[in-house]
């Protein structure tokens, strides 16, 4: 293990028997996205004003028979849930059992309707079938085995795989049609008086719902992953009686099983992965001295995260200079190196631990006139509370960090590389924005909790488009995780 200690942290001990610390310091913009310069509100198709805050929970259906067979389903209605799919839906039911919902909208297709019935269980309120929530219409492709696509349709199928937003079949542009349909769905969902809404639908339509809510175009198709029974959460907060609500993605693709083991991203294998770990909860500190250690809850959160990451062979752990980040990174590294003793591996794991100065944001927050940060990031959109200069400084710093991390991932001497990055939620939100080629105006459009993890895959390598596998995943925290229909500030008992 390589431990980096900055001069400003000499009072913080980080010692490892028989190992000498070595200092490690560790450029690029993603060409596949169009840089968006507006806010997260969609100026061309604004959402109607709302009178009270709403939380919308999206769930994709469980595994279906056509998922299992590798067939293209589209909006066909011939497949049903497998036994595994029913089990996934049951796991989701248990995960959401203590959450309160006012209404459930569901796709009328069999696989989604059955998933919704299992999750909705004994709740008395009626489910509302919504035809616009059906899966993407793929016309002649529907029913094809995926390996038949190239043989029968050649260039059309290759375009579906590589340039889906411009893909045309039978005189239709399926992804463009899907985005229009998703906006229509939001008008119906937001007009309902319920404040806590469950939506059970499909992979592509859920991607479109997330993207259109945030004002992202069709180029983001297959970038915001939706696994079978994955849960995504969007918060809508009223601004005033005449403006569109503020919209924040609270979490993305919280799955019934761990999101860590390497699988496919949008149908493609990925050998390069960034795991963004928010350090554990920090002890109460003064505004003039915010760099404190983790409290007892934070220590538990970091240990739970380290245990989850045992499913993955971590190559390097990169952290900020913050005490809580170093402690969380150290816990992850030690558990990785104990994988053999813990029965998680048959060979020793050697983990390199590095410090990246650009991940440090405390000095930026100290310049702010806003309240101390540890109490601020408990609600959706908390970064909007800070002055524009703070957002600019964090965004600029995260841009430098992003380039360094991509350079680290680009090392061709290592085929598979899993890089864990430990830091404050603010810098991780900015890194997610850098991945998506957004601008600082998106600073309040994502939410991360202490102890959460977010995963970014690079199926085309670090120079290609990053795929968000999950965002703000907290299921590994067990009893200390936050129910999906309840905001962090309401979760006083945690």
- If you average pLDDT over residues 447-471, what whole number do you get? 94
| Phi, psi angles (nearest 5°) of residue 163 | -145, 55
Q: Both tokens of residue 402?
A: 């992003």
Q: What is the mean pLDDT of residues 35-64?
A: 75
**Whether 61 is catalytic:** yes
Cα 167 from Cα 156, distance rounded (Å): 7
> What is the distance of C-alpha 272 from the center of its chain?
16
Q: Which of 84-93, 256-265, 303-312, 332-341 has the lowest mean pLDDT?
A: 256-265
User: Helix axis angle, 174-191 relative to 203-213, nearest 10°?
Assistant: 70
> Which of 275, 322, 315, 323 shows the shortest CA–CA distance to 421?
275
Domain layout of the chain by residue ranges: 54-254, 272-370+377-473
pLDDT at 16 over 60: no
Q: Lowest-confidence range among 10-14, 285-289, 437-441?
A: 10-14
* DSSP per position, 175-194: HHHHHHHHHHHHHHHHHSS-
pLDDT in tens, 478-494: 887 777 766 443 443 32
| pLDDT above 60 for 109 | yes
* Alpha helix ranges (H) inside 192-313: 203-213, 296-308
Question: How much is the pLDDT for 248?
Answer: 95
Residue tagged 């591996």 (tokens): 345
* Res 34 pLDDT > 70: no
CATH of the domain spanning 54-254, picked from 3.40.50.720, 3.40.50.1240, 3.40.50.920, 3.40.930.10: 3.40.50.1240
| pLDDT digits 0-9 by tens, 149-168 | 988 999 999 999 999 999 99
3-state secondary structure of 112: helix
pLDDT in tens, 272-306: 999 999 999 998 765 555 678 999 999 999 999 99
pLDDT for residue 384:
81
Give the per-residue pLDDT at 253.
Answer: 96
Comparing 345 with 111, the larger pLDDT belongs to 111
Say whether 272-370+377-473 and 54-254 share the same fold.
yes
- Residue 126, pLDDT above cutoff 60: yes
Which of 135, 195, 408, 441 is flagged as catalytic?
135
Share of the chain above pLDDT 70, in %: 83
The torsion angle over the Cα atoms of residues 312, 220, 212 and 56, rounded to 10 degrees, is -10
Active-site residue, selected from the candidate residues 12, 44, 61, 414? 61
Overall fold of domain 272-370+377-473: Rossmann fold (3.40.50)
Task: Provide the CA 43 distance to its chain's centre, in angstroms.
Answer: 24
* Residue 130: how many other CB atoms lie within 10 Å: 17
End-to-end Cα, the chain, rounded Å? 33
Residue 227 pLDDT more than 70? yes
Neighbours of 147 (CB within 10 A): 8
pLDDT one-digit tens code per residue, 134-154: 999 999 999 999 889 988 999
Known binding-site positions for substrate? 60-67, 111, 146
Paired tokens of 264: 């496919």
Q: What is the pTM of this model?
A: 0.88
What residues form the annotated binding site?
A: 60-67, 111, 146
Distance, CA of 362 to CA of 241 (rounded, Å): 36
Predicted confidence at residue 342, as pLDDT, reads 87
Under 8 Å between Cβ of 99 and 486: yes
Mean pLDDT of the chain: 85
Residue 481: the pLDDT is 78
Q: Comparing 49-63, 255-269, 343-357, which segment has the lowest mean pLDDT? A: 255-269
Alpha carbon distance 142, 74 (integer Å): 6
Contact (Cβ atoms closer than 8 angstroms) between residue 283 and residue 290: no
pLDDT in tens, 379-391: 777 888 888 898 8
pLDDT value at residue 372: 52
476 is catalytic: no
**Residue pair 118/59 in contact by the 8 Å Cβ criterion:** no
């Amino acid at each position: 293990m390589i431990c980096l200690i900055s001069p400003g942290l000499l009072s913080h001990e980080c010692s490892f028997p028989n190992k000498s610390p070595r200092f490690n310091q560790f450029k690029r913009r993603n060409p596949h996205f169009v840089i968006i310069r507006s806010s997260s509100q969609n100026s061309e198709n604004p959402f109607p004003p709302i009178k009270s805050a709403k939380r919308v929970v999206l769930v994709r259906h469980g595994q279906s028979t056509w998922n299992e067979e590798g067939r293209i389903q589209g909006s066909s209605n011939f497949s049903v849930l497998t036994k595994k799919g029913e089990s996934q839906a049951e796991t989701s039911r248990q995960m959401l059992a203590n959450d309160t919902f006012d209404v459930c909208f569901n796709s009328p297709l069999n696989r989604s309707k059955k998933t919704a019935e299992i999750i909705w269980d004994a709740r008395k309120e009626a489910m509302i079938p919504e035809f616009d929530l059906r899966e993407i219409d793929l016309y002649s492709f529907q029913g094809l085995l995926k390996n038949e696509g190239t043989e029968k349709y050649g260039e059309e199928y290759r375009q579906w795989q590589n340039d889906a937003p411009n893909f045309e079949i039978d005189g239709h542009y399926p992804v463009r049609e899907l985005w229009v349909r998703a906006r229509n769905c939001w008008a119906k969902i937001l007009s309902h008086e319920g404040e806590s809404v469950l939506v059970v639908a499909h992979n592509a339509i859920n991607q479109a719902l997330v993207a259109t809510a945030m004002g992202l175009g069709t180029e983001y198709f297959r970038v915001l992953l939706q696994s079978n029974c994955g849960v995504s959460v969007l918060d809508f907060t009223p601004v005033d009686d005449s403006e569109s609500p503020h919209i924040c993605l609270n979490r993305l693709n919280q799955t019934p099983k761990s999101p860590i083991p390497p699988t496919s991203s949008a149908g493609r294998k990925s050998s390069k992965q960034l795991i963004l770990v928010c350090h554990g909860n920090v002890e109460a500190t003064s505004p003039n001295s915010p760099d404190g250690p983790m409290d007892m809850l934070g220590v538990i959160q970091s240990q739970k995260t380290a245990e989850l990451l045992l499913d993955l062979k971590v190559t390097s752990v990169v952290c900020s200079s913050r005490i809580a980040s170093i402690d969380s990174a150290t816990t992850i590294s030690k558990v990785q190196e104990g994988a053999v003793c813990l029965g998680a591996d048959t060979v020793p794991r050697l983990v390199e631990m590095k410090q990246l100065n650009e991940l440090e944001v405390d000095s930026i927050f100290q310049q702010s006139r806003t309240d101390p940060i540890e109490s601020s990031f408990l609600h959706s959109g908390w970064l909007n509370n800070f002055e524009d200069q703070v957002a600019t400084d964090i965004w600029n710093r995260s841009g430098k960090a992003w380039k360094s991390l991509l350079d680290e991932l680009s090392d061709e001497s290592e085929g598979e590389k899993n890089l864990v990055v430990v830091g404050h939620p603010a810098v991780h939100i900015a890194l997610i924005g850098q991945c998506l080629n957004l601008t600082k105006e998106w600073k309040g459009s994502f939410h991360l909790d202490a102890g959460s993890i977010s995963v970014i895959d690079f199926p085309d390598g670090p120079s290609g488009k990053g795929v968000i596998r999950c965002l703000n995943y907290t299921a590994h925290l067990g009893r200390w995780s936050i129910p999906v229909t309840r905001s962090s500030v309401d979760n006083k008992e945690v």
